[in-house]
Amino acid sequence: MTGSICFVGLDNYPVLNPSRGNEYFGGESVQQTLLAKAFASLDYRVSMVVKDHGQRQGETIGRIKVWKTYAENAGIPVVRFLHPRMSSILKALENADADVYYQSCAGMATGLVAWHCARRSRRFIFRLAHDTDCIPGQQLIRFWRDRKIYEYGLRRAHFIAAQGTHQVALLRQNYGLDSLPINMAVDEPAEPDVMQDIDVLWVNNLRGFKRPELAVDLAARMSARRMVMIGGAVPGNEALFEEIRARARGVPNLEFLGAVPYHEVNAYFARARVFVNTSDHEGFPNSFLQAWIRGVPVVSFFDPDGLIKSVGLGHVPRNLTEMNEAVESLLSDESSRALVSARCRRHAYDHYAPIAVARRYVDAGALGVLPPT
């Protein structure tokens, strides 16, 4: 056995356990689960800290030991910050008893993991999940209190992984901290070859900065093209979800599916000819990798580290009119789209295999020197 690593991702359980796939999870839940499986295959003892979904405490899924914390709505408002939330997370970290703890997404959990690691002389890896993680006051964190706890943890991480050079620069500029770019991971396609009967696909959780209303507008402009939207309601954004669902009903060529489990959504990527992203800003979307590894070009307002433009993995329009034109150019020229498709697939296979990403953490010294076992 090489050593032990615990992944702290409270929303990970629906990705790790397919039977819970209809419940909320984010992109980092996918990343952590892929990495956890990769480290297990490298013979690390792997555990995971998640929310309570009614599962048995300490269950094992595959080769991953799962420690649960609190249920989503458990406890009395205000007081529940301390119990059951903080208390149950700290207890789960103790139960995991790992050499290394890995946590991503700016939030209160960052500070708790850092405090636990300092108290127990364990190593803490933090992964930047969004560009705003690097910008004081702009983190996707609701309470000032939690933002301060996050910043406490950020400054005490032994190793910070970034999604690209832009995040490295932002973190250095705003916090004076060093980080290292490490690629995201993506599963190889497991679904069979199918007919590409979806012209345009949009997949994202429905939040304001994702601008899902622009996807509806795009579908209305492209009335001759079939478009599919996939995305669930993020807690606190239920009104936006209902608004988009209602608007989508008025666009005949748009099929709005709502939330689709991670283990089922890849089948839609396989059926898509073009993938679009309408977000104002992101980190590095899992959806880009899910598209590219299936040879699906990406048309997006957001281009992480200029990758789409520099490698030629799709188009980067400046507005909705340009997005419409870019999508139409790909759909109307099959030979051109085939060239971009081959480039996307080759780039994804060469750079984002989970085992290669896990080894990158090891080679970069992120795990430090593990004790002998």
pLDDT tens-digit map of 16-39: 998 886 678 888 999 999 999 999
Give the chain's radius of gyration (CA, Å): 20
Mean pLDDT across the chain:
94
Homologous superfamily of the 198-351 domain (CATH): Glycogen Phosphorylase B; (3.40.50.2000)
**Per-residue pLDDT at 372 exceeds 70:** no
The tens digit of pLDDT for each residue in 147-188 reads 999 999 999 999 999 999 999 999 999 999 999 999 999 988
Average pLDDT (275-289) is 91
**Per-residue pLDDT at 1 exceeds 80:** no
How far lies 318's CA from each of 76, 175, 288, 324, in Å? 46, 30, 18, 11
Model pLDDT, residue 261: 87
The tens digit of pLDDT for each residue in 138-150 reads 999 999 999 999 9
Average pLDDT (323-340) is 97
Count Cα neighbours of 50 within 13 Å in the Cβ-side half-sphere: 32
Which tokens belong to 260? 């689709």
Which tokens belong to 274? 């073009």
Homologous superfamily of the 4-185+353-363 domain (CATH): Glycogen Phosphorylase B; (3.40.50.2000)
Taking phi first (over 0 means left), then psi (-120 to 50 degrees means alpha), and beta for anything else, what does residue 229 get?
beta
Domains 4-185+353-363 and 198-351 alike in fold: yes
**Per-residue pLDDT at 366 exceeds 60:** yes
Which tokens belong to 94? 């103790």
Distance CA 222, CA 224 (A): 6
Place of tokens 């996939």: 230
Place of tokens 């988009």: 244
The tens digit of pLDDT for each residue in 186-232 reads 988 988 888 999 999 999 999 999 999 999 999 999 999 999 999 99
What phi and psi values does residue 355 have, to the nearest 5 degrees?
-60, -40
Distance CA 349, CA 292 (A): 9
Domain range list for the chain: 4-185+353-363, 198-351
Tell me which residue of 18, 255, 31, 235 sits closest to 130, measured CA to CA: 31
The tens digit of pLDDT for each residue in 222-263 reads 999 999 999 998 888 899 999 999 999 999 999 999 999 888
Distance CA 74, CA 356 (A): 39
Better pLDDT: 77 or 312? 312
